[in-house]
Chains A and B, each alone.
Chain A
């Protein structure tokens, strides 16, 4: 519990610190700036355009712009010509350049936390050195989950992730780059773990060739998108819905290709053990809905729930999604062959979800049903996320899974649990 409180305090503390660092609106800075080079003709304050702007006064336009009540249009009415001084009001005020306002009302606080605080990293931590663009992104998640079925204890973890990319466009317009991502997880009791991943790429108009830790490239291109409630640290792929998609994965190291052709993107990866993953995604708005269709075929390996049996897999998966207004609906289905060596098992699976957004609130509900050799696997998820401030969000979710499947004496999956999750995340 102390660990949990500590990490929540840490995230909030980071937020407050960033707000304090970034607040440029305190009383010392509340003065009107006037840039000496504002006019494009060096020191001439007005914009000396040869031909002044004339508003349109066509017949079909209901009312001339400058005639609308309350609009200070600064047009004197003679042939639409601007007055000689375009900003007459600024002449007098300009004398106060550099002077603080005389009637300050105290340090600026903002109307609410979400409005102007937590801005320190509003521009990503990025720079350019010798034509190479470096960009750093990071995220800190503090997650607490409570199991209703198992130990009935609240578990807590703090997960920090980062991604550092370096990219340069060569004179032949190929783009060369590398991305280094890392994840540090602290689950209390002095248990901490860090894992880094790296990939390199070269890309141009014919697509991008990648190498390194690229095992999830196709999966991420073709999966059902994560909705509200996605928290870092949930399973190997941060999945919301247990069992969604194929079980088999590629090994860590591999290489492949990603490319775009019209509204379609294709991707293909081969890993160090010649497992492969190919996918295709088509996305295009038609009428007033946006459609996204994906198909994926992969071979891979899956470690059974007994922790010992390594299973070869082959799967085909498809996803259909459409967005209408503020809501996204999606559905997926697939078939997977599981080869344990001693026996084969057939698995089919399907899932569906809906995610909607209302202001700062995001809601997701999704469910999964499948069978392995006639034995059921079921999971469900409901999540809500509230965007508290720039980079800061709170999440609450409930998930359920009943996936206890034994084939040929091997526990392929053995999970039955209902959990409640709460999390606080800060990212930049």
Chain B
């Protein structure tokens, strides 16, 4: 059947019509995350674009560590573009000064979208057009577009060869030596306890073993905050942890309260959500919307948050594959006899299953805890206090429809971060030490970043 010009035109029209449906949902609609917590009068350019990439994380089902990487570059590019115009903060990338009089909102949007296009491998064509249409043609707009584009491309080039692309494949890249002892991690069973979507395989492969090799934004290296070793399996402390998680995190655990059960699901941040890094950016918007900050200050705050969430992912994944420690489910169901622990509580429970699905990567340290602590520490440093009432719904209600209508409240970021980390214990997928050490390294990442990145010009 010959292809005629009519066919081509019809096809092109159909594709264009279809693509126009591809726009990110507008603020105020049900599919926009920030609509849940952002007062319309507090919306600004930073929040507008953050909402767009949050939706993209959800729509592409980006896994948490990749989402952290994808959040960072656009937020940094947006900040560097407005900072180049405002000339307020020093930065280490030699971006230089932007043209005086350039429209900063336009510059932010252009730089952000340029970097986001690379991070999400899609052009954000309609989102850019719709945003720029809000600004009447002027020299300030033209300068903003050209400067934003220049900064965006510079950030993109800066992150080329940062090893992020190599982590897409789930293989080891020989960065880490595998353990061979009884604590060695192996991908943990299937979704024994959850009722997962058919979209999930029963036996997934190791998730992103090379992620710890990505070049960080603020840390000196991926291993800068690598933590010390895990418990000895013969130790009484390990026995205590073993028993605690067995009794607390099992599918039908009577020791877990209804509130803890809800917490376990609430923070699971599954594939139809915005992942833990997105979840904390969402909470940061909730807190920062009430502060009358200039665009450059708001952009700086989110650049710091984005960078440290990315570095939290690198740090956690470096720890995970460096230490290569098994998940509680493996230990409780299978390995217990081989720990040689004399505590009678360390025995095999072949039918034990975790309450939430055990993730397909090593346990130590907890990514959730690292993300949460990094965000809580950064927000504490930005605000100078942690007295910030927060409220939120679970971003993923597809995998967990029982969370529909559930709203949780926190007294501040540290409370939210702690609950987020503990959710993995209640769910039976992490050791307590995974949480504690993740919290410590996450906080250290943010302290280090806050003290070293983007100081104000004297």
Q: Are B440 and A49 in contact (CB under 8 A)?
A: yes
Interface residues on A, range: 35 or more
Q: Is the CB of B123 within 8 A of A261?
A: yes
- Cβ of B171 within 8 Å of any chain A Cβ, yes or no, is yes
Known A-B contacts A39-B228, A49-B440; A123 and B419 likewise in contact (beta carbons under 8 Å) = no
Within 8 A of A (CB), among B344-379: 348, 350, 373
Cβ contact within 8 Å between A24 and B180: yes
Docked Cα-Cα span, A262 to B120, in Å, equals 10
CB neighbours (8 Å) of A111 from chain B are 333-334, 348, 350
Interface 1/0 per residue, B120-153 and A, CB below 8 Å: 1111111100000000000000000000000000
Encoded as 1 (CB less than 8 Å from any B CB) or 0, chain A from 324 to 343 comes to 11111000000000010000
Assembled-state Cα–Cα distance A362/B22 (Å): 32
Interface of B is mostly: loop
Asked if A284 is an interface residue, CB under 8 A from chain B, the answer is: yes
Bound Cα distance A24, B437 (Å): 27
Scan A282-311; emit 1 where CB is below 8 A from any B CB, else 0: 111111111000010101110000000000
Asked if B165 is an interface residue, CB under 8 A from chain A, the answer is yes
**Would you call A390 and B187 a contact (CB within 8 A)?**
yes
Is residue A408 contacting chain B, with contact meaning CB distance below 8 A?
no
Q: A47-B437, A90-B231 are in contact. Are A173 and B333 (CB under 8 A)?
A: no
B243 on the A face (CB < 8 A): yes
Cβ-defined contact, B232 with A122, below 8 A: no
Is A275 close to B, CB under 8 A?
yes
Nearest to A291 among chain B residues (CB) is B398
Tell me whether A205 and B323 are in contact (CB under 8 A): no
A314 at interface (Cβ–Cβ under 8 A)? yes
Is A104 an interface position by the 8 A CB rule?
yes
Q: Mark A53-72, 1 if CB is under 8 A from B, else 0.
A: 10110111110010000111
Give the residue name and chain of the A residue nearest to B415 (CB).
A58
Question: Which of B12-20, B276-284, B296-304 binds A?
Answer: B12-20
Give the residue of A49, A61, A74 whose beta carbon is less than 8 angstroms from that of B415.
A61
Contacts of A286 in B (CB 8 A): 30-31
Q: At the interface, yes or no: B182 with Cβ under 8 Å from chain A?
A: yes
Neighbouring B residues of A108 by C-beta, 8 Å: 182, 335, 338
CB pair B169 A357 closer than 8 Å: no
Q: Is the CB of B235 within 8 A of A53?
A: no
Please determine whether B59 and A283 come into contact, CB atoms closer than 8 angstroms.
Answer: yes
Interfacial chain B residues near A56, Cβ < 8 Å: 412, 414-415, 417-419
Flag if A262 contacts B411 (CB, 8 Å): no
Given A124-B205, A288-B404, check contact A45 B397 (CB 8 Å). no
- Tell whether A375 is near chain B: CB-to-CB under 8 Å: no
Contact of A287 among B18, B122, B166, B404 (CB under 8 A): B404
* A51 in complex: contacting residue of B199, B235, B447, CB < 8 Å: B447
From B225, B232, B422, name the one whose CB has the most chain A CB atoms within 10 angstroms: B232
A281 to B168, CA, bound (A): 23
Closest to A355 in B: B198
Contacting pair B232 A94 (CB below 8 A): yes
- Residue count of chain B within 8 Å CB distance of chain A: 128
Which one of A24, A133, A289 contacts B184 once the chains associate, using CB atoms below 8 Å?
A24
Query: Complex formed: what's the CA distance from A420 to B291 in Å?
Result: 67
Structural contact, A203 and B121, CB atoms closer than 8 A: yes
* Known contacts A40-B226, A52-B440, A266 near B118 by CB under 8 Å: no
Chain A residues near B350 (CB, 8 Å)? 111-112
A359 — which chain B residues lie within 8 A by C-beta? 190-192
Interface string of A70-93 (1 = CB under 8 A from B): 111110000000000011011001
Q: Is A40 touching B348 in the complex (CB atoms < 8 A)?
A: no
Q: Please judge, given known A-B contacts A32-B182, A205-B121, A205-B123, whether A278 and B11 are in contact too, CB under 8 Å.
A: yes
Q: Which of A133, A268, A283, A327: most chain B Cβ within 10 A?
A: A133
Alpha-carbon distance between A55 and B439 when the two chains are bound, in angstroms: 9
Complex-state Cα separation, A132 to B257, whole angstroms: 50
Residues from chain A with Cβ under 8 Å of B15 in the complex: 266, 268, 278, 280
B198 touches A275 (CB 8 A): no
By a CB distance below 8 angstroms, the chain A residues around B223 are 40
- B1-9, B34-42, B83-91 - the one binding chain A: B1-9
Known: A111-B334, A278-B15, A284-B31. A116 touches B186 (CB 8 A): yes
- With A87-B231, A108-B338, A123-B171 as contacts: A175 and B165 at CB distance below 8 Å: yes
Assembly CA distance A247 to B232 (angstroms): 62
Closest A residue to B121 by beta carbon equals: A205
Give Cα distance in the complex from A108 to B160, angstroms: 45
Is there a chain B Cβ closer than 8 Å to A148's Cβ? Answer: no
Chain A residues 349 to 368 lying within 8 A of chain B, measured CB to CB, are: 355-360, 362
Chain B residues with CB under 8 Å of A93's CB are 232, 234-235
Residues of B within 8 A of A260 (CB): 22, 60, 120-122
Residues of A within 8 A of B419 (CB): 56, 61
B39 to chain A, nearest CB (A): 22
Within 8 A of A (CB), among B193-229: 194-203, 205-206, 209, 223-229
A58 touches B440 (CB 8 A): no
Q: Which residues of B contact A264 (CB under 8 A)?
A: 18-19, 21-22
CB-contact partner of A101 in B19, B58, B168, B340, under 8 A:
B340
Q: Provide the bound-state CA to CA distance between A29 and B180, in Å.
A: 6
Question: With contacts A33-B183, A62-B259 known, is A71 near B121, CB below 8 A?
Answer: no
Q: Could you say which residues of chain B place their CB within 8 Å of the CB of A195?
A: none
CB of A102 within 8 A of chain B? yes
Cβ contact within 8 Å between B182 and A60:
no
- Whether B190 and A89, one on each chain, are in contact in the complex, defined by CB atoms closer than 8 angstroms, is no
- Write the nearest CB–CB distance from A205 to chain B, whole angstroms: 4
Chain B residues with Cβ below 8 Å from A207 are 122
- A and B contact pairs by CB, cutoff 8 A, 7 listed: A30-B182, A33-B181, A38-B226, A60-B410, A206-B123, A290-B398, A360-B192
Contacts A94-B232, A326-B197, A357-B198 known; list 20 others, CB within 8 Å: A30-B182, A46-B228, A47-B228, A49-B444, A55-B418, A60-B409, A71-B432, A72-B241, A86-B228, A89-B236, A96-B232, A122-B205, A124-B170, A276-B7, A276-B11, A295-B18, A324-B401, A326-B198, A357-B197, A390-B203
Q: Which residues of B contact A (CB under 8 A)?
A: 1-3, 7, 11, 14-15, 18-19, 21-24, 30-31, 55-56, 58-60, 117-118, 120-127, 156, 160-161, 165-166, 168-173, 178-184, 186-187, 189-192, 194-203, 205-206, 209, 223-229, 231-238, 240-241, 243-244, 247, 257, 259, 272, 322-323, 330, 333-335, 337-338, 340, 348, 350, 373, 396-399, 401, 403-404, 409-412, 414-415, 417-419, 422, 432, 436-437, 439-441, 443-444, 447
Chain A positions within 8 Å of B, measured between CB atoms, are 24-25, 29-35, 38-40, 45-47, 49-53, 55-56, 58-62, 65, 70-74, 86-87, 89-90, 93-94, 96, 101-105, 108, 110-112, 114-116, 119, 122-124, 126-128, 133, 135, 169, 171, 173, 175, 203-207, 225, 227-228, 259-264, 266, 268, 270, 273-276, 278, 280, 282-290, 295, 297, 299-301, 312-314, 323-328, 339, 355-360, 362, 387, 389-391, 393
